[in-house]
Amino acid sequence: MIAKSNEPLTAAADQPETKVPAPVAHRATSGVASFAETALKLGGKSDEEVRRMGAVDKADDEVETMFQRQHQTSQSPIHRAVWDREVPIDLFSLDPGANSADAARVMTDSLHVVEEHLYRGTLHDEKRKLRADVLQNLGDVGYWGLLVDKAYGGSQTPFSQFAPFLTKMAQFDPTIAGLASVHGCIGAVDPLQTFGNVEQKHRFLPGLASGERLSAFALTEPGAGSDLTALKTVAVKRGDTYYVTGEKLFITNVTPGRTIGLVCLIEGRPAVLIVELPAEENDAFRLKQYGLYALKHAYNQGIVFNNLPVPAENLLDPGDGDGLTIAYHGLNRGRVALCANAAGTMRLMLANMIPWSHFRKTYGHAIETRELVQRRMGHLSGMIVACDALTEWTASLLDRGFRGEMECIIAKIFGSEAQKEAAIELFMKTHGGRSFLHGHLFGDNVHEFLAPCIYEGEGEMLGMAFFKSLVKQHGRQFFEPIGMALAANGIKQPNMANPKHLWALKGPLANYTKWLVGREMHRSKYELPDMPSRLKGHADFAATWLQRSPLEISGTMRKFQLKLADRQCRMAELSGRVQLAVVILCTSLYAARHKNDIITEAADTICQELKRRMVGGLPTDRYFKQVTSLGRAISEGHFPGLDETPQAPTMMPYQN
């Protein structure tokens, strides 16, 4: 699943020499073709593409209205850091807040359940899936109800407490950690708690909290993934019952008897039904099997419906929105959970690199003494700290009521890409050929390590969605009035040498010019807290860069105009640099708060690396000395939390 598609649009043709800023899409008005639709058509889009893109944009705007104004995207930390005249440093360095003692007990008991099954070797059944009694044992201690309100049998855990807990659970078993997110963040729990009425909550949530009925979210179809407007599953109402027909694909955690949030079309509009699947397959409901390398310890299957009856009272009410509104709402928690899971999974990798680096010798010396191995462990620790920082920050934002769309996208992209890099470039290469043995952590889980790059939206696609969110208000404020003036005067190809064209645009062009001049003269404003000088340098770099980025962003919009929506490579590249600046700022502030020498060193090294990715340059000898020294300290066990992480035995130790 991917995020919205607020395509930045313009009203003039692709004529950079005119230097005329152009409009972006905005919410369609009922019964009247919106200017966004007009701009899309001017950009050469088909009527069908205009309709679909407009539907997605409308769903996103409807999600936005669910949040108080001070918590909407335009007031988010990233948006303000880029477009306002001062970086809100306090919003990048949040205290997670008080934890729930009841939730803490559930978490401790849940970890003990998994640890006990790991010790006994009873996590998986003969099909290598998580055993039913493991899931039940977790339900007995309250694991599945962590995010369910207390009124319905759950723990009502603050998300800023839940997300770091997923990191700890992933150190024992990433799949079990992932299923907590599937069930509570993107499964049926979040849609019910957010959009369900009182009767629906009382009917469904107690069973979801106890684990009696685990949940999934059925959105993706064979032809509908990144394009959610291509849904074909339909529900037809006859009497007090909906009859569902269609097919879903890549649905994690679905088996007979479970509860799903089903996105389907009702009278041509997306809607969400809460469906209690039959205990057994039948003519109206069957599961579709396929070979899937990832998620091997969980069930991921297709679902085929053929007039499956669902009570009409199971329809969720999205208010002024539709089913896409509900689908988009739950994604952000799932994205934070992916980052949290990555932090735990990478700790698992690091914990298993250390004993191997002690055992494996080359030319008479353990590889823990080799710079390349030390660098890998040092770099890996930096990525872990960055993921910890993003997890804590984004979860805290969600707890405070922020929508957090852009912030959660960054957490998802960075976490999944870091895990991929750790698996291939650091973990696999350190273990060499043994990585591919049956039973090896890498060989058995390589697809698990890579798949999060696709979950909750493929990274580069999400990067473009991030960029669209970032430019949306700027386009509405300055570019759209120019397009409206062009349309009102019947001008299709603006020519600044034409006095009539210049006169028609005098008002909006004057406003944009005033903004542009003011921004060029603007000096960055922000106040950093007391922090180590190295970390302060990184925070200063990131904050200053974010404050200067509007000129490049607006210039890109001005250059490509109507063609910007199709300049995916440029959007993704510029989006990526903004994201890296945010990671640097968040990570440096996080490390300063924690006041731990190893965390400070790890944060410093990863910030140096991310800065090089942004602006270029080569690693210095000082950096190599620092990161290898950090790696040596880690090989001696000086990284927080590693002593709690299971370590697999060395495979093929060449013992006679």
Q: What is the pLDDT of residues 407-457, one digit of tens each?
A: 999 999 999 999 999 999 999 999 999 999 999 999 999 999 999 999 988
What confidence score (pLDDT) does residue 518 get? Answer: 94
Taking the C-alpha atoms of residue 549 and residue 437, their distance in angstroms, rounded to an integer, is 47
Average pLDDT of the chain? 90
Tens digit of pLDDT for each residue in 549-573? 999 999 999 988 778 888 999 999 9
Give which of 483, 172, 164, 491 is closest to 339, Cα–Cα. Answer: 164
Mapped to the 3 state alphabet, what secondary structure does 379-438 carry?
HHHHHHHHHHHHHHHHHHHHHCCCCCHHHHHHHHHHHHHHHHHHHHHHHHHHHHHHHHCC
Question: Any idea which of 19-33, 409-423, 622-636 has the lowest mean pLDDT?
Answer: 19-33
- Residue 26 vs residue 579, higher pLDDT: 579
Q: Let me know: does 534 contact 589? Beta carbons within 8 Å.
A: no
Burial 14-36 (b: 16+ CB within 10 A, else e): beeebebbbbbbbbbeeeeebbb
pLDDT bin (cut points 50, 70, 90) of residue 37 is low
Question: Any idea which of 126-135, 288-297, 485-494 has the lowest mean pLDDT?
Answer: 485-494
Tell whether the model's pLDDT for residue 44 goes beyond 60. Answer: no
What confidence score (pLDDT) does residue 655 get? Answer: 61
Tell whether the model's pLDDT for residue 143 goes beyond 80. Answer: yes
Tell whether the model's pLDDT for residue 392 goes beyond 60. Answer: yes
Mean pLDDT, to the nearest integer, of 496-514? 91
pLDDT bin (cut points 50, 70, 90) of residue 40 is low
What confidence score (pLDDT) does residue 642 get? Answer: 86
**Cα torsion 276, 288, 440, 452: sign:** negative
* Other beta carbons less than 10 A from residue 595's beta carbon: 10
Tens digit of pLDDT for each residue in 76-106? 999 999 999 999 999 999 989 899 999 999 9
Question: Any idea which of 2-6, 112-116, 160-164, 192-196 has the lowest mean pLDDT?
Answer: 2-6
Do the strands 215-218 and 269-276 form a parallel or antiparallel pair, or are they unpaired? Answer: unpaired
Token code pair at residue 531:
């922090």
What confidence score (pLDDT) does residue 8 get? Answer: 32
- Residue 23 vs residue 194, higher pLDDT: 194
Tell whether the model's pLDDT for residue 653 goes beyond 50. Answer: yes
Helices (H), 248-322: none
Mean pLDDT, to the nearest integer, of 129-156? 97
pLDDT bin (cut points 50, 70, 90) of residue 224 is confident
Do the strands 365-366 and 269-276 form a parallel or antiparallel pair, or are they unpaired? Answer: unpaired
Q: Which string of DSSP letters, residue by residue, matches 186-236?
A: ISSHHHHHHH--HHHHHHHHHHHHHTSS-EEEE--BTTBSS-GGG---EEE
Taking the C-alpha atoms of residue 656 and residue 637, their distance in angstroms, rounded to an integer, is 29
Q: Let me know: does 71 contact 400? Beta carbons within 8 Å.
A: yes
What confidence score (pLDDT) does residue 1 get? Answer: 33
Tens digit of pLDDT for each residue in 309-335? 999 999 999 887 788 888 877 889 999
The values of phi and psi at residue 182, to 5°, are -55, -45
What percent of the chain shows pLDDT beyond 90?
76
Tell whether the model's pLDDT for residue 354 goes beyond 80. Answer: yes
What confidence score (pLDDT) does residue 483 get? Answer: 82
What confidence score (pLDDT) does residue 16 get? Answer: 34
Taking the C-alpha atoms of residue 637 and residue 334, their distance in angstroms, rounded to an integer, is 31
Mean pLDDT, to the nearest integer, of 576-601? 97
What confidence score (pLDDT) does residue 649 get? Answer: 79
- Residue 429 vs residue 643, higher pLDDT: 429
What confidence score (pLDDT) does residue 41 get? Answer: 53
The topology under which CATH files domain 328-459 is: Butyryl-CoA Dehydrogenase, subunit A; domain 3 (1.20.140)
The topology under which CATH files domain 215-316 is: Butyryl-CoA Dehydrogenase, subunit A; domain 2 (2.40.110)
Question: Any idea which of 453-457, 542-546, 625-629 has the lowest mean pLDDT?
Answer: 453-457
What confidence score (pLDDT) does residue 487 get? Answer: 83
Tens digit of pLDDT for each residue in 251-277? 999 999 999 999 999 999 899 999 999
What confidence score (pLDDT) does residue 584 get? Answer: 98
Question: Any idea which of 188-202, 214-228, 609-623 has the lowest mean pLDDT?
Answer: 214-228
Superfamily holding 101-208? Acyl-CoA dehydrogenase/oxidase, N-terminal domain (1.10.540.10)
What confidence score (pLDDT) does residue 324 get? Answer: 80
Give which of 85, 79, 181 is closest to 466, Cα–Cα. Answer: 79
- The domains of the chain are located at 101-208, 215-316, 328-459
Tokens 């992480």 sit on residue: 645
What confidence score (pLDDT) does residue 491 get? Answer: 85
What percent of the chain shows pLDDT beyond 70?
91
Within its chain, how far is the Cα of 565 from the centroid? 22
